[in-house]
Structure 1
Amino acid sequence: MGCCHYYLLFTKVFSADVYELITMTVCYSIYYLFSFISQLKVRQRATMGAYTYVSELWRKKQSDVMRFMQRVRCWEYRQLPSIVRVTHPTRPDKARRMGYKAKQGYVIYRVRVRRGGRKRPVPKGIVYGKPTNQGVTQLKFQRSKRSVAEERAGRKLGGLKVLNSYWLNEDSTYKYFEVILVDPAHSAIRNDPRINWICNPVHKHRELRGLTSAGKKYRGLRGKGHLNHKARPSRRATWKRNNTLSLRRYR
Protein backbone atom coordinates (compact mmCIF):
# COMPACT_ATOMS: atom_id res chain seq x y z
CA MET A 1 0.00 0.00 0.00
CA GLY A 2 2.85 2.34 0.73
CA CYS A 3 4.26 1.85 -2.76
CA CYS A 4 0.86 2.46 -4.33
CA HIS A 5 0.39 5.59 -2.22
CA TYR A 6 3.74 7.00 -3.30
CA TYR A 7 2.98 6.09 -6.93
CA LEU A 8 -0.37 7.92 -6.89
CA LEU A 9 1.19 10.96 -5.20
CA PHE A 10 4.00 11.08 -7.78
CA THR A 11 1.46 10.75 -10.61
CA LYS A 12 -0.59 13.68 -9.26
CA VAL A 13 2.48 15.90 -8.85
CA PHE A 14 3.80 14.96 -12.28
CA SER A 15 0.44 15.55 -13.96
CA ALA A 16 0.14 18.96 -12.22
CA ASP A 17 3.62 19.96 -13.42
CA VAL A 18 2.86 18.82 -16.95
CA TYR A 19 -0.45 20.73 -16.95
CA GLU A 20 1.29 23.86 -15.70
CA LEU A 21 4.02 23.45 -18.30
CA ILE A 22 1.49 23.05 -21.10
CA THR A 23 -0.47 26.07 -19.88
CA MET A 24 2.65 28.23 -19.77
CA THR A 25 3.69 27.05 -23.23
CA VAL A 26 0.30 27.92 -24.70
CA CYS A 27 0.30 31.35 -23.01
CA TYR A 28 3.78 32.17 -24.26
CA SER A 29 2.86 30.98 -27.76
CA ILE A 30 -0.20 33.24 -27.82
CA TYR A 31 1.87 36.16 -26.51
CA TYR A 32 4.58 35.75 -29.16
CA LEU A 33 1.94 35.28 -31.86
CA PHE A 34 0.20 38.55 -30.98
CA SER A 35 3.51 40.41 -30.72
CA PHE A 36 4.50 39.11 -34.16
CA ILE A 37 1.15 40.24 -35.61
CA SER A 38 1.57 43.70 -34.07
CA GLN A 39 5.07 43.96 -35.56
CA LEU A 40 3.65 43.01 -38.94
CA LYS A 41 1.06 45.81 -38.63
CA VAL A 42 3.79 48.31 -37.78
CA ARG A 43 5.81 47.18 -40.77
CA GLN A 44 2.78 47.51 -43.02
CA ARG A 45 2.23 51.05 -41.76
CA ALA A 46 5.88 51.90 -42.34
CA THR A 47 5.77 50.89 -45.99
CA MET A 48 5.51 53.91 -48.28
CA GLY A 49 3.69 54.38 -51.55
CA ALA A 50 5.35 55.16 -54.86
CA TYR A 51 4.67 58.90 -54.68
CA THR A 52 6.20 59.06 -51.20
CA TYR A 53 9.44 57.63 -52.58
CA VAL A 54 9.36 60.17 -55.42
CA SER A 55 8.83 63.04 -52.98
CA GLU A 56 11.73 61.77 -50.85
CA LEU A 57 13.93 61.89 -53.96
CA TRP A 58 12.95 65.50 -54.59
CA ARG A 59 13.65 66.40 -50.97
CA LYS A 60 17.27 65.29 -51.43
CA LYS A 61 18.12 67.76 -54.21
CA GLN A 62 21.84 67.76 -53.36
CA SER A 63 22.25 64.03 -53.94
CA ASP A 64 24.41 62.96 -56.87
CA VAL A 65 21.46 61.53 -58.80
CA MET A 66 19.27 64.63 -58.47
CA ARG A 67 22.11 67.06 -59.19
CA PHE A 68 22.94 65.23 -62.40
CA MET A 69 19.29 64.95 -63.48
CA GLN A 70 18.58 68.61 -62.75
CA ARG A 71 21.64 69.79 -64.70
CA VAL A 72 20.72 67.68 -67.73
CA ARG A 73 17.09 68.79 -67.62
CA CYS A 74 18.09 72.43 -67.19
CA TRP A 75 20.23 72.24 -70.32
CA GLU A 76 17.24 70.83 -72.24
CA TYR A 77 14.88 73.51 -70.92
CA ARG A 78 17.21 76.29 -72.08
CA GLN A 79 17.00 75.06 -75.68
CA LEU A 80 13.18 75.13 -75.73
CA PRO A 81 10.72 78.07 -75.80
CA SER A 82 9.86 79.91 -72.62
CA ILE A 83 6.34 78.44 -72.54
CA VAL A 84 6.00 74.86 -73.78
CA ARG A 85 3.47 72.11 -73.18
CA VAL A 86 4.65 68.85 -71.59
CA THR A 87 2.93 65.50 -72.02
CA HIS A 88 3.09 64.55 -68.34
CA PRO A 89 4.24 66.27 -65.13
CA THR A 90 7.92 66.04 -64.27
CA ARG A 91 6.97 65.80 -60.59
CA PRO A 92 3.86 63.57 -60.52
CA ASP A 93 3.67 63.53 -56.72
CA LYS A 94 3.76 67.32 -56.48
CA ALA A 95 1.34 67.75 -59.39
CA ARG A 96 -1.23 65.51 -57.71
CA ARG A 97 -0.87 67.44 -54.45
CA MET A 98 -1.52 70.63 -56.42
CA GLY A 99 -4.75 69.22 -57.88
CA TYR A 100 -3.62 67.55 -61.13
CA LYS A 101 -5.40 64.43 -62.38
CA ALA A 102 -4.24 62.22 -65.24
CA LYS A 103 -7.50 62.61 -67.14
CA GLN A 104 -8.88 64.58 -70.05
CA GLY A 105 -9.18 68.30 -69.52
CA TYR A 106 -5.96 68.74 -67.51
CA VAL A 107 -2.82 70.06 -69.23
CA ILE A 108 0.67 70.94 -68.01
CA TYR A 109 2.81 73.79 -69.33
CA ARG A 110 6.40 74.53 -68.37
CA VAL A 111 7.18 78.25 -68.01
CA ARG A 112 10.59 79.90 -67.84
CA VAL A 113 10.97 83.13 -65.85
CA ARG A 114 14.12 85.23 -65.71
CA ARG A 115 15.64 85.59 -62.27
CA GLY A 116 16.70 88.79 -60.56
CA GLY A 117 15.15 92.13 -59.71
CA ARG A 118 12.82 94.23 -61.79
CA LYS A 119 13.86 97.55 -63.36
CA ARG A 120 11.28 100.28 -63.51
CA PRO A 121 9.94 100.37 -67.11
CA VAL A 122 10.60 104.04 -67.87
CA PRO A 123 12.01 105.41 -71.17
CA LYS A 124 15.69 106.39 -70.93
CA GLY A 125 15.56 106.00 -67.16
CA ILE A 126 13.66 109.27 -66.72
CA VAL A 127 11.25 109.17 -63.79
CA TYR A 128 9.01 112.18 -63.28
CA GLY A 129 7.90 113.11 -59.82
CA LYS A 130 9.45 113.45 -56.43
CA PRO A 131 13.02 112.31 -55.70
CA THR A 132 11.79 109.54 -53.41
CA ASN A 133 10.32 107.81 -56.47
CA GLN A 134 13.34 108.30 -58.77
CA GLY A 135 14.68 104.75 -58.42
CA VAL A 136 15.05 102.63 -61.55
CA THR A 137 17.23 99.72 -60.46
CA GLN A 138 17.50 97.86 -57.14
CA LEU A 139 13.71 97.56 -57.05
CA LYS A 140 12.11 94.35 -55.79
CA PHE A 141 8.97 93.04 -57.43
CA GLN A 142 6.23 92.40 -54.89
CA ARG A 143 5.04 89.20 -56.55
CA SER A 144 6.86 85.89 -56.67
CA LYS A 145 8.38 84.32 -59.78
CA ARG A 146 5.88 81.51 -59.50
CA SER A 147 2.95 83.94 -59.76
CA VAL A 148 4.62 85.57 -62.77
CA ALA A 149 4.87 82.15 -64.43
CA GLU A 150 1.16 81.54 -63.79
CA GLU A 151 0.32 84.95 -65.25
CA ARG A 152 2.28 84.34 -68.45
CA ALA A 153 0.73 80.91 -68.93
CA GLY A 154 -2.75 82.33 -68.33
CA ARG A 155 -2.25 85.15 -70.82
CA LYS A 156 -0.91 82.83 -73.52
CA LEU A 157 -3.66 80.24 -73.03
CA GLY A 158 -6.76 82.36 -72.62
CA GLY A 159 -9.19 79.47 -73.14
CA LEU A 160 -7.77 77.53 -70.17
CA LYS A 161 -7.93 78.34 -66.47
CA VAL A 162 -4.92 78.19 -64.16
CA LEU A 163 -5.42 75.73 -61.31
CA ASN A 164 -2.02 75.72 -59.60
CA SER A 165 1.74 75.53 -60.17
CA TYR A 166 4.96 74.30 -58.57
CA TRP A 167 8.71 74.85 -58.75
CA LEU A 168 10.62 72.63 -61.15
CA ASN A 169 14.20 73.77 -61.68
CA GLU A 170 16.47 76.79 -61.73
CA ASP A 171 19.90 77.88 -62.89
CA SER A 172 21.86 81.12 -62.67
CA THR A 173 19.59 82.93 -65.14
CA TYR A 174 16.12 81.35 -65.08
CA LYS A 175 13.60 79.66 -62.86
CA TYR A 176 11.34 76.97 -64.29
CA PHE A 177 7.81 76.19 -63.14
CA GLU A 178 5.14 73.77 -64.28
CA VAL A 179 1.64 75.27 -64.41
CA ILE A 180 -1.49 73.11 -64.18
CA LEU A 181 -4.30 74.37 -66.42
CA VAL A 182 -7.86 73.12 -66.84
CA ASP A 183 -10.12 73.26 -69.90
CA PRO A 184 -13.49 74.57 -68.61
CA ALA A 185 -15.26 73.60 -71.84
CA HIS A 186 -14.32 69.91 -71.67
CA SER A 187 -17.15 67.56 -70.74
CA ALA A 188 -14.88 65.54 -68.43
CA ILE A 189 -14.28 68.70 -66.39
CA ARG A 190 -17.85 69.97 -66.48
CA ASN A 191 -19.21 66.61 -65.30
CA ASP A 192 -16.72 66.19 -62.45
CA PRO A 193 -18.19 67.63 -59.23
CA ARG A 194 -14.73 67.99 -57.69
CA ILE A 195 -13.41 70.41 -60.32
CA ASN A 196 -16.40 71.85 -62.18
CA TRP A 197 -16.41 74.85 -59.81
CA ILE A 198 -13.67 76.30 -62.02
CA CYS A 199 -16.09 76.45 -64.97
CA ASN A 200 -17.94 79.30 -63.26
CA PRO A 201 -17.25 82.65 -64.99
CA VAL A 202 -16.14 84.26 -61.70
CA HIS A 203 -12.97 82.16 -61.88
CA LYS A 204 -11.72 83.72 -65.12
CA HIS A 205 -8.03 84.60 -64.84
CA ARG A 206 -7.65 83.63 -61.21
CA GLU A 207 -3.89 84.06 -61.58
CA LEU A 208 -4.23 87.76 -62.48
CA ARG A 209 -6.22 88.52 -59.33
CA GLY A 210 -4.09 86.69 -56.78
CA LEU A 211 -6.58 83.86 -56.22
CA THR A 212 -4.26 80.91 -56.81
CA SER A 213 -2.09 79.39 -54.10
CA ALA A 214 0.93 81.45 -55.17
CA GLY A 215 -1.22 84.58 -55.32
CA LYS A 216 -2.55 84.12 -51.80
CA LYS A 217 0.98 83.56 -50.56
CA TYR A 218 2.37 86.88 -51.84
CA ARG A 219 -0.77 88.63 -50.56
CA GLY A 220 0.01 87.29 -47.08
CA LEU A 221 -3.20 85.28 -46.76
CA ARG A 222 -1.72 81.93 -45.79
CA GLY A 223 -2.39 82.41 -42.07
CA LYS A 224 -5.43 81.15 -40.19
CA GLY A 225 -7.16 82.13 -36.99
CA HIS A 226 -8.11 85.26 -35.09
CA LEU A 227 -4.75 86.93 -35.72
CA ASN A 228 -5.40 87.03 -39.46
CA HIS A 229 -8.99 88.27 -39.58
CA LYS A 230 -8.01 91.81 -40.55
CA ALA A 231 -5.34 90.85 -43.08
CA ARG A 232 -7.65 91.37 -46.05
CA PRO A 233 -7.33 92.19 -48.90
CA SER A 234 -3.56 91.74 -48.49
CA ARG A 235 -0.78 92.25 -46.00
CA ARG A 236 0.53 95.36 -47.79
CA ALA A 237 -2.92 96.91 -48.17
CA THR A 238 -3.53 96.36 -44.46
CA TRP A 239 -0.24 98.03 -43.56
CA LYS A 240 -1.02 100.97 -45.83
CA ARG A 241 -4.51 101.36 -44.38
CA ASN A 242 -3.20 101.29 -40.81
CA ASN A 243 -0.32 103.71 -41.44
CA THR A 244 -2.04 106.33 -43.57
CA LEU A 245 -3.17 109.49 -41.83
CA SER A 246 -6.65 110.38 -43.01
CA LEU A 247 -8.24 113.61 -41.77
CA ARG A 248 -11.55 115.18 -42.61
CA ARG A 249 -11.40 118.42 -44.59
CA TYR A 250 -13.41 121.46 -43.67
CA ARG A 251 -15.35 122.69 -46.68
Structure 2
Amino acid sequence: MTPPIPNSDSLENIIRRRRLNNFKQKVTSSNAVRKMGAYKYIGELYKKKQSDVLRFLLRVRCWEYRQLNVIHRASRPSRPDKARRLGYKAKQGYVVYRIRVRRGNRKKPVPKGATYGKPVRQGVNHLKFQRGLRSTAEERVGKRCGNLRVLNSYWVNQDGVYKYYEVILVDPNHKAIRRDPRINWIVAPVHKRREARGLTSIGKQNRGLGKGHRYNHTPARSTWKKHNTLSLRRYR
Protein backbone atom coordinates (compact mmCIF):
# COMPACT_ATOMS: atom_id res chain seq x y z
CA MET A 1 0.00 0.00 0.00
CA THR A 2 1.11 3.53 -0.77
CA PRO A 3 1.33 5.88 2.26
CA PRO A 4 -1.45 8.46 2.57
CA ILE A 5 -0.74 11.92 1.14
CA PRO A 6 -0.94 14.57 3.91
CA ASN A 7 -3.42 17.39 3.64
CA SER A 8 -2.34 20.59 1.92
CA ASP A 9 -3.60 22.47 5.01
CA SER A 10 -1.26 20.57 7.30
CA LEU A 11 1.69 21.22 4.93
CA GLU A 12 0.96 24.94 4.89
CA ASN A 13 0.77 24.98 8.68
CA ILE A 14 4.12 23.23 8.96
CA ILE A 15 5.72 25.75 6.57
CA ARG A 16 4.23 28.67 8.51
CA ARG A 17 5.52 27.33 11.82
CA ARG A 18 9.02 26.88 10.43
CA ARG A 19 9.06 30.39 8.99
CA LEU A 20 7.80 31.79 12.29
CA ASN A 21 10.50 29.93 14.24
CA ASN A 22 13.21 31.18 11.86
CA PHE A 23 11.93 34.74 12.23
CA LYS A 24 11.96 34.47 16.05
CA GLN A 25 15.53 33.19 15.99
CA LYS A 26 16.64 36.12 13.82
CA VAL A 27 14.91 38.63 16.10
CA THR A 28 16.47 37.19 19.26
CA SER A 29 19.94 37.10 17.68
CA SER A 30 19.65 40.72 16.48
CA ASN A 31 18.50 41.83 19.92
CA ALA A 32 21.46 40.09 21.51
CA VAL A 33 23.83 42.03 19.24
CA ARG A 34 22.17 45.39 19.87
CA LYS A 35 22.44 45.30 23.66
CA MET A 36 24.05 48.43 25.09
CA GLY A 37 25.75 49.05 28.42
CA ALA A 38 24.78 51.76 30.88
CA TYR A 39 27.42 54.21 29.66
CA LYS A 40 26.07 53.94 26.12
CA TYR A 41 22.63 54.98 27.35
CA ILE A 42 24.10 57.92 29.28
CA GLY A 43 26.01 59.00 26.19
CA GLU A 44 22.87 58.85 24.06
CA LEU A 45 21.04 60.96 26.66
CA TYR A 46 23.71 63.67 26.51
CA LYS A 47 23.41 63.83 22.72
CA LYS A 48 19.90 65.27 23.18
CA LYS A 49 20.52 68.16 25.57
CA GLN A 50 17.22 69.83 24.66
CA SER A 51 15.18 66.84 25.85
CA ASP A 52 13.01 67.29 28.93
CA VAL A 53 15.13 64.91 31.00
CA LEU A 54 18.46 66.63 30.28
CA ARG A 55 17.05 70.15 30.54
CA PHE A 56 15.67 69.43 34.00
CA LEU A 57 18.81 67.59 35.13
CA LEU A 58 21.21 70.29 33.89
CA ARG A 59 19.10 73.04 35.40
CA VAL A 60 19.06 71.44 38.86
CA ARG A 61 22.77 70.63 38.73
CA CYS A 62 23.64 74.13 37.57
CA TRP A 63 21.83 75.58 40.59
CA GLU A 64 23.84 73.25 42.84
CA TYR A 65 27.16 74.19 41.22
CA ARG A 66 26.45 77.91 41.71
CA GLN A 67 26.25 77.41 45.48
CA LEU A 68 29.67 75.72 45.64
CA ASN A 69 33.16 77.22 45.50
CA VAL A 70 34.71 78.23 42.20
CA ILE A 71 37.10 75.26 42.37
CA HIS A 72 36.07 72.26 44.44
CA ARG A 73 36.70 68.53 44.49
CA ALA A 74 33.89 66.35 43.17
CA SER A 75 33.14 63.12 45.00
CA ARG A 76 32.55 61.38 41.67
CA PRO A 77 32.27 62.42 38.00
CA SER A 78 28.87 63.82 37.06
CA ARG A 79 29.36 62.26 33.60
CA PRO A 80 30.95 58.85 34.27
CA ASP A 81 30.75 57.78 30.63
CA LYS A 82 32.64 60.83 29.41
CA ALA A 83 35.18 60.65 32.23
CA ARG A 84 35.98 57.01 31.47
CA ARG A 85 36.38 57.76 27.76
CA LEU A 86 38.96 60.41 28.67
CA GLY A 87 41.00 58.12 30.93
CA TYR A 88 39.34 58.25 34.35
CA LYS A 89 39.32 55.12 36.52
CA ALA A 90 37.43 54.64 39.77
CA LYS A 91 40.59 53.68 41.65
CA GLN A 92 43.09 55.25 44.00
CA GLY A 93 45.22 57.99 42.51
CA TYR A 94 42.51 59.54 40.30
CA VAL A 95 40.81 62.78 41.36
CA VAL A 96 38.06 64.90 39.77
CA TYR A 97 37.83 68.66 40.35
CA ARG A 98 34.97 70.87 39.20
CA ILE A 99 35.51 74.50 38.20
CA ARG A 100 33.49 77.36 36.78
CA VAL A 101 34.93 79.88 34.32
CA ARG A 102 33.33 83.18 33.42
CA ARG A 103 32.06 83.22 29.85
CA GLY A 104 32.72 85.83 27.22
CA ASN A 105 35.65 87.89 26.00
CA ARG A 106 38.51 89.24 28.03
CA LYS A 107 38.75 92.84 29.18
CA LYS A 108 42.14 94.54 29.08
CA PRO A 109 43.21 95.34 32.69
CA VAL A 110 43.93 99.05 32.25
CA PRO A 111 42.93 101.86 34.67
CA LYS A 112 39.88 103.83 33.45
CA GLY A 113 40.31 102.40 29.96
CA ALA A 114 43.53 104.36 29.36
CA THR A 115 45.95 102.20 27.38
CA TYR A 116 48.53 105.00 26.83
CA GLY A 117 49.34 103.84 23.33
CA LYS A 118 48.50 104.24 19.71
CA PRO A 119 44.85 104.38 18.63
CA VAL A 120 45.05 100.92 17.04
CA ARG A 121 45.87 99.44 20.48
CA GLN A 122 43.15 101.24 22.44
CA GLY A 123 40.70 98.33 22.49
CA VAL A 124 39.55 97.30 25.96
CA ASN A 125 36.34 95.26 25.81
CA HIS A 126 36.22 93.04 22.73
CA LEU A 127 39.56 91.27 23.10
CA LYS A 128 39.61 87.52 22.39
CA PHE A 129 41.85 85.19 24.36
CA GLN A 130 43.95 82.85 22.24
CA ARG A 131 42.79 79.76 24.14
CA GLY A 132 39.33 78.46 24.99
CA LEU A 133 37.59 78.43 28.35
CA ARG A 134 38.22 74.72 28.84
CA SER A 135 41.96 75.24 28.55
CA THR A 136 41.70 78.10 31.04
CA ALA A 137 39.81 75.82 33.42
CA GLU A 138 42.53 73.17 33.22
CA GLU A 139 45.25 75.71 33.92
CA ARG A 140 43.49 77.12 36.98
CA VAL A 141 42.84 73.69 38.46
CA GLY A 142 46.44 72.65 37.78
CA LYS A 143 47.65 75.78 39.56
CA ARG A 144 45.48 74.98 42.58
CA CYS A 145 46.57 71.31 42.70
CA GLY A 146 50.29 71.64 42.12
CA ASN A 147 51.07 68.12 43.31
CA LEU A 148 48.76 66.49 40.75
CA ARG A 149 48.97 66.07 36.97
CA VAL A 150 46.13 67.15 34.69
CA LEU A 151 45.01 64.26 32.49
CA ASN A 152 41.97 65.65 30.67
CA SER A 153 38.75 67.62 31.12
CA TYR A 154 35.19 67.87 29.79
CA TRP A 155 32.15 70.17 29.78
CA VAL A 156 29.42 69.50 32.34
CA ASN A 157 27.15 72.56 32.40
CA GLN A 158 26.72 76.22 31.61
CA ASP A 159 24.45 79.17 32.31
CA GLY A 160 24.34 82.78 31.18
CA VAL A 161 27.45 83.77 33.16
CA TYR A 162 29.61 80.68 33.67
CA LYS A 163 30.72 77.46 32.05
CA TYR A 164 31.36 74.48 34.31
CA TYR A 165 34.04 71.87 33.64
CA GLU A 166 35.32 68.77 35.39
CA VAL A 167 39.07 68.15 35.29
CA ILE A 168 40.59 64.68 35.73
CA LEU A 169 43.82 64.72 37.73
CA VAL A 170 46.30 61.98 38.60
CA ASP A 171 48.53 61.68 41.66
CA PRO A 172 52.04 60.89 40.32
CA ASN A 173 53.28 59.80 43.76
CA HIS A 174 50.61 57.17 44.40
CA LYS A 175 51.73 53.55 44.19
CA ALA A 176 48.59 52.55 42.27
CA ILE A 177 49.56 55.04 39.53
CA ARG A 178 53.29 54.33 39.49
CA ARG A 179 52.71 50.58 39.14
CA ASP A 180 50.08 50.83 36.40
CA PRO A 181 51.78 50.61 32.98
CA ARG A 182 48.79 52.25 31.27
CA ILE A 183 49.09 55.54 33.17
CA ASN A 184 52.57 55.68 34.72
CA TRP A 185 53.85 57.64 31.71
CA ILE A 186 52.42 60.74 33.41
CA VAL A 187 54.81 60.26 36.36
CA ALA A 188 57.79 61.50 34.32
CA PRO A 189 58.90 65.05 35.26
CA VAL A 190 58.46 66.18 31.65
CA HIS A 191 54.68 66.07 32.19
CA LYS A 192 54.66 68.63 34.99
CA ARG A 193 52.20 71.47 34.27
CA ARG A 194 51.37 69.94 30.90
CA GLU A 195 48.08 71.90 30.85
CA ALA A 196 50.02 75.21 30.96
CA ARG A 197 52.13 74.21 27.94
CA GLY A 198 49.31 73.17 25.63
CA LEU A 199 49.98 69.43 25.88
CA THR A 200 46.51 68.27 26.92
CA SER A 201 43.80 67.43 24.41
CA ILE A 202 42.16 70.87 24.40
CA GLY A 203 45.57 72.55 24.49
CA LYS A 204 46.57 70.85 21.25
CA GLN A 205 43.25 71.81 19.69
CA ASN A 206 43.79 75.46 20.60
CA ARG A 207 47.26 75.31 19.06
CA GLY A 208 45.81 74.04 15.80
CA LEU A 209 47.49 70.65 16.05
CA GLY A 210 46.00 67.39 14.89
CA LYS A 211 46.65 64.18 12.98
CA GLY A 212 46.65 63.59 9.24
CA HIS A 213 47.81 65.32 6.08
CA ARG A 214 45.73 68.45 6.77
CA TYR A 215 47.70 69.19 9.93
CA ASN A 216 51.27 68.95 8.64
CA HIS A 217 51.80 72.71 8.41
CA THR A 218 49.25 74.36 10.67
CA PRO A 219 49.20 77.20 11.33
CA ALA A 220 51.16 78.29 8.26
CA ARG A 221 52.65 81.47 9.73
CA SER A 222 54.14 79.80 12.80
CA THR A 223 55.46 76.94 10.66
CA TRP A 224 57.22 79.35 8.32
CA LYS A 225 58.61 81.32 11.26
CA LYS A 226 59.89 78.16 12.96
CA HIS A 227 61.65 76.98 9.80
CA ASN A 228 63.19 80.37 9.00
CA THR A 229 64.31 81.59 12.41
CA LEU A 230 67.73 80.97 13.93
CA SER A 231 67.44 80.88 17.71
CA LEU A 232 70.77 81.10 19.56
CA ARG A 233 69.85 80.70 23.20
CA ARG A 234 72.34 81.12 26.01
CA TYR A 235 71.70 77.63 27.35
CA ARG A 236 71.16 75.28 24.39
Which category of TM-score, normalised to the shorter sequence, fits these structures?
0.7 to 0.9
Mapped pair 1:66 → 2:54: yes
**In the aligned structure 2, how far is the partner of 1:22 from the partner of 1:99?**
61
Shift of 1:147: 0.5
Aligned to 1:37: 25
- The aligned residue for residue 149 of structure 2 is 161
Aligned match for 1:192, one of 180, 189, 194: 180
* Larger Rg, first or second structure (1 or 2): 1
Q: TM-score, normalised by structure 2?
A: 0.85
For 2:158, the equivalent position in structure 1 comes to 170
- Residues 194-220 of structure 1: CA distance to partner in whole angstroms, max 9, x if unpaired? 100000111111110111111111112
SS in 1 for 2:44: helix
Aligned 8 A contact 2:138 2:195 in 1: yes
Percent identical pairs in the alignment equals 57
- Any idea what SS the aligned residue of 1:192 has? coil
CA distance in 1, matches of 2:18, 2:56: 52
Shift of 1:24: 9.5
Are the structure 2 counterparts of residues 149 and 22 from structure 1 closer, same or farther at C-alpha, using a change threshold of 3 Å? Answer: same
Q: Are the structure 2 counterparts of residues 197 and 26 from structure 1 closer, same or farther at C-alpha, using a change threshold of 3 Å?
A: farther
Equivalent residue for 2:231? none
Pair 1:225 & 2:207 matched = no
Q: Deviations over 1:2-46 (max 9, x none)?
A: xxxxxx4xx16x3xx45xx99999887666545433321211122
Aligned length, in residue pairs: 227
Question: Deviation of residue 69 (structure 1)?
Answer: 2.0
- Give the gaps of 5 or more residues in structure 2: 229-236
CA distance in 2, matches of 1:64, 1:198: 40
1: CA distance between counterparts of 2:120 and 2:99? 35
Q: Is the 8 A contact 2:94 2:169 kept in 1?
A: yes
TM-align CA RMSD: 2.7
- Quote the residue 2:221 is aligned against: 239
* CA displacement at 1:187 relative to structure 2: 0.3
Structure 2 counterpart of 1:180: 168
| Superposition TM-score, scaled by structure 1 size | 0.80
Structure 2 CA distance for partners of 1:191 and 1:27, relative to 1, 3 Å:
farther
Higher fraction of helix: 1
Structure 1 stretches lacking a partner, 5+ long: 1-7, 247-251
